[in-house]
Amino acid sequence: MTTVAVKDLTLEFGAVRVLDQLNIDIPQGEFLVLLGASGCGKSTLLNCIAGLLDITEGEVHIGGRNVTWEEPSDRGIGMVFQSYALYPQMTVEGNLSFGLRNARMPKAEITERVQRAAEILQIGPLLKRKPAALSGGQRQRVAIGRALVRDVDVFLFDEPLSNLDAKLRADLRVELKLLHQRLKNTMIYVTHDQVEAMTLADRIAIMRGGVVQQIASPDEIYNRPSNKYVAGFIGSPSINFFEGRIEGTDSPRFASGGATFDLTGYQTAGAPLRPGEGWLGIRPEMVVTGPEAASQPFTTTCHVDLVEPMGADTLVWSHVAGAPFRFRMSGQARVTAGDDITIGFSPAEGSLFDKQTENRL
């Protein structure tokens, strides 16, 4: 069952088209993340679904009902914003119950809903405090609770964790995922943080210039990106690209910077590989170092330009075939700038993109 459906949605501000013919179906209970760089249209799309912006063309359906021109309060959604937007003069309990009291809900039901939300979010001991006496993480929980008490099927999150420090962001990320597993509500979540997207989402919709580039599971997007932009956007450190030419058909290979990469076994996205200009993407995590490197289809010795210790991992910056190349090593590896290291990887496990269209081959 589809809970939210966006059909041919277009939004224009004057002569500027911000969203362009978007079509997204979100099943019941799915956690969908809208991911992209600033200005790509992800928050704008969320505001269109919420009814905070009037769309130019298309329709928005929630729960099988066309809500395109309905008020936000009538759409059956709960929304959590980037800013906590709590009433400073009210207690936590007052903030949670404010919307319900305005809707003239019976007091007994208001109390029940507030207590249930407080239990789920573990903020029961905070109900009598005011926002000034709360930490950033506690305030964000209250903001989530304010949406939770509405008891709706669809929750919209607009970068709710971006104002928090790194550790608190990681902790609340886990809590949000547990919350979704417990409630099984449909959740649409906007972020520019790919780690949040990969860890939270059932599916990710990567946006660019008001258009969805790819919508798929985190695993699919990471391992089989639909185009060069998606490949470069997902992954930290980002994917390594070689610019060159595909040669041969029966035994395809990729030539770049004087090196030849064997593509035997490469799984294409459709038609068989044909000779032509393109890009080969190799993720840093695919690289093997040390004695095991010799067993890989492509092996070379590279010069270490820079080392970034990251605790569990060590990130190494180098060059391969004349192109900048990054790869990971164990955090226990003894490597310094100026060393020469033997590395290996399987080019067939990488991603090939057409030079002109930049679409996956």
Do both 156 and 178 map to the same domain?
yes
Domain range for 117:
2-232
Q: What span, in angstroms and rounded, lies between the C-alpha atoms of 238 and 282?
A: 9
Question: Is 166 among the domain residues?
Answer: yes
Q: What span, in angstroms and rounded, lies between the C-alpha atoms of 306 and 312?
A: 17
b/e for 163-186, b at 16 or more Cβ within 10 A?
A: ebeeebbeebbebbeebbeeeebb
* Domain end (from 175, 209, 232): 232
* Domain end (from 232, 261, 280): 232
- What pLDDT, on a 0 to 100 scale, did the predictor assign at position 281? 97
- What pLDDT, on a 0 to 100 scale, did the predictor assign at position 182? 87
Question: Is 42 among the domain residues?
Answer: yes
Alpha-carbon separation of residue 154 from 86, 188, 260, 361 (angstroms): 21, 8, 51, 37
Regions in the chain scoring below 70 on pLDDT: 1
Please state, as a whole number, how many other Cβ atoms lie within 10 Å of the Cβ of residue 139. 22
Do both 222 and 245 map to the same domain?
no
Q: What span, in angstroms and rounded, lies between the C-alpha atoms of 1 and 26?
A: 9
Token pair listed for 135: 């930490």
Question: Is 359 among the domain residues?
Answer: no
Do both 251 and 222 map to the same domain?
no
- What pLDDT, on a 0 to 100 scale, did the predictor assign at position 251? 87
Q: Specify whether the CB–CB gap between 9 and 48 falls below 8 A.
A: yes
Do both 194 and 314 map to the same domain?
no
Do both 213 and 93 map to the same domain?
yes
- What pLDDT, on a 0 to 100 scale, did the predictor assign at position 173? 87
Question: Is 91 among the domain residues?
Answer: yes
Helices (H) and strands (E) in the chain, counts: 8, 21
Considering just the CA atoms, what is the radius of gyration of the chain in Å? 24
